[in-house]
Amino acid sequence: LGKLVLLCWLNGCLCQWGTHLMEVTLNPKTANPQLVLSSDRRSVRLGDERKDLLNCHERFDTAPCVLANEGFSFGRYYWEVEVRDAGCWAVGVARKSVKRKGHLRLTPEHGFWTVEMHMGKYWALNTSPALVYCKERLHRVGIYLDYTEGRVAFYNADSLETVTFISGLACPRGGTLV
């Protein structure tokens, strides 16, 4: 019965995805100097060396992170991130106001709601990181954000299997997620 409810909920979300499919572009002003963005700003990889870039307040200085140009302050959205060849990665949503200097923790307390792959295992980075079981290696991660309800869900975009679901997304009144 639990699986049947999940599938119904998943199908309900799928109906919404078609109308809210986002094309996310990356913001080069936020990119850590070791990251290399593609010319269309739709992909990123870790470079061999750190670039000599202006260390502005928007840029992540130590963590290999980059934010999207798009911001969300209401509604429902779905987008996909290809992680096929990446050995270690984290994807999700963050408050626009997240700390970008020094050591970062990608947890809700610090304004991040993410899933990561590290050392061949998948983790939901909640207050306490939780190991997530996936039937197969993830190649594309689907991210469904319901800003109004305060939920984000992560899917295997190839099989539509739910990877994890996080509720309690909190953003200060008028805050924006990226």
Which position has the higher pLDDT, 39 or 19?
Answer: 39
Residue 47, classified by CB atoms within 10 Å of its CB into exposed (0-12), middle (13-18) or buried (19+), is: middle
CATH number of 5-167: 2.60.120.920
Long-range CB contacts for residues 101-107, cutoff 8 Å, separation at least 24? 101/60, 101/61, 101/62, 102/61, 102/62, 103/62, 103/63, 104/60, 104/62, 104/63, 104/65
Per-residue tokens: 140: 């594309």
Please tell me whether residue 3 adopts helix, strand or coil conformation. helix
pLDDT grade for 39, boundaries at 50, 70 and 90:
very high
Please tell me whether residue 20 adopts helix, strand or coil conformation. helix
**Residue 25 per-residue DSSP state:** -
Per-residue tokens: 37: 């963005």
| Residue pLDDT, tens place only, 74-88 | 888 888 888 877 778
CA distance 52 to 33: 7
- Checking if the pLDDT of 128 tops 80, the result is no
- Checking if the pLDDT of 103 tops 60, the result is yes
pLDDT grade for 28, boundaries at 50, 70 and 90:
very high
Average pLDDT over residues 58-73: 88
